[in-house]
Structure 1
């Protein structure tokens, strides 16, 4: 099972509309006032999650409840962000693949917390991908291959989840690597802005890495 979560950051509405249309069997989860973004593209959520401190129109909630949308309301005084609560709702229903729109934006605290959620739920068996117009971000815990024509943009970057990760082999890119540490302390920017130059890129590593596919 998979889900699409729409939260409160910056969203390219045409990208969101296209993705929902292409994944019509996914569970669509709206976080707090993000339902307004769905209304702009005439898409319905299956679930609405949040404390609804930014969606103060009770009649809107009543409207969606009347249409059969599940409303999951939380107390504003809580230990988790609305985005995390939405992910947790999906996790507890055995949804193992989640794409999140609106996880990046002007609030760096929320952006950084959303990035950290990728690691938390990866350990629980959930693959989460954050998407916006310029980036596709996810965590990998095993060696993998990427096809050049399928990546999000021109650049591919890697970051260690913990302090450092041994990259045993990175091939098919402009700057290949063999037995070099991805180290957040000593060389945090060493593995950014590489480019896939062959049909496929392959990376073999030991640990967990954050992968960012990006474009200008």
Structure 2
């Protein structure tokens, strides 16, 4: 099963919204419902404490009889993590997350690290209007260009060693230290990029501009 999680950051462009909504079960974390109000897409569930949902959102939920799972405002987890846990409990094979990046930097960072929670249990990425973000540990992965221009490797541990093909600056067992920007803004020159992470863990980010 494929899932789409819409949370409370910057609103997503309609073309991206329709692309990832297709054949997906959609869960909105509180104000993440706002992405769908002016569309014909009806999410399957909304979770959260509803502290950031406005009147239009609540009317949309009621009109379309969308299932609600309400939680108290005083809780140990964000609404986004609650939605992630629903996907994991139901053993989804793929979870795409939209509107995870916004004005609250603390929430943005926390959302990015939820990719680590999903890693190994399902395929997962964060998508916004300009970027796609995945979390990676020791592995070999192939990444489609899909209209993106840049690829960055951001280390999340010491001794990240990486080899790459299909980029302007290809690497062979390159070591990227935790406090280095060495992996930022490589240019994608092939339709298919191959990344081999020999050790460590990192974020791989594709960017359009």
Q: Distance in 2 between matches of 1:69 and 1:88?
A: 19
What is residue 167 of structure 2 aligned with on the other side? 173
Q: Distance in 1 between matches of 2:16 and 2:166?
A: 31
TM-score normalised to structure 2 length: 0.89
> What is the number of equivalent residue pairs in this alignment?
207
8 Å Cα contact 1:158/1:210 also seen in 2: yes
Pairwise mapping of residues 1-216 of structure 1 onto structure 2 (< 5 A)? 1-20=1-20, 23=22, 25-55=23-53, 57=55, 60=58, 64=61, 67-123=64-120, 125-141=121-137, 142-148=139-145, 150=146, 152-167=147-162, 169-185=163-179, 187=180, 189-206=181-198, 207-216=200-209
SS of residue paired to 2:176:
strand
Displacement after TM superposition at 1:20 (Å): 4.5
Output one character per residue of 1:98-145: Cα deviation in whole Å (capped at 9) or x when no partner. 11111001111111111111112214x122211111000011231112
SS of residue paired to 1:94:
coil
Output one character per residue of 1:57-85: Cα deviation in whole Å (capped at 9) or x when no partner. 59937x74675422111111011111111
Displacement after TM superposition at 1:174 (Å): 1.0
Task: Point out where structure 1 has 5 or more consecutive residues left out of the alignment.
Answer: none
TM-score normalised to structure 1 length: 0.86
Q: Distance in 1 between matches of 2:85 and 2:65?
A: 21
Task: Point out where structure 2 has 5 or more consecutive residues left out of the alignment.
Answer: none
SS of residue paired to 2:187:
coil
8 Å Cα contact 1:160/1:184 also seen in 2: yes
- Distance change in 2, residues 1:162/1:72 (3 Å): same
- Distance change in 2, residues 1:33/1:147 (3 Å): closer
SS of residue paired to 2:5:
strand
Q: Distance in 2 between matches of 1:161 and 1:71?
A: 35
SS of residue paired to 1:40:
coil
Moved more, 52-61 or 88-97: 52-61
8 Å Cα contact 1:16/1:101 also seen in 2: no
Q: Which runs of 4+ in 1 moved over 6 A?
A: none
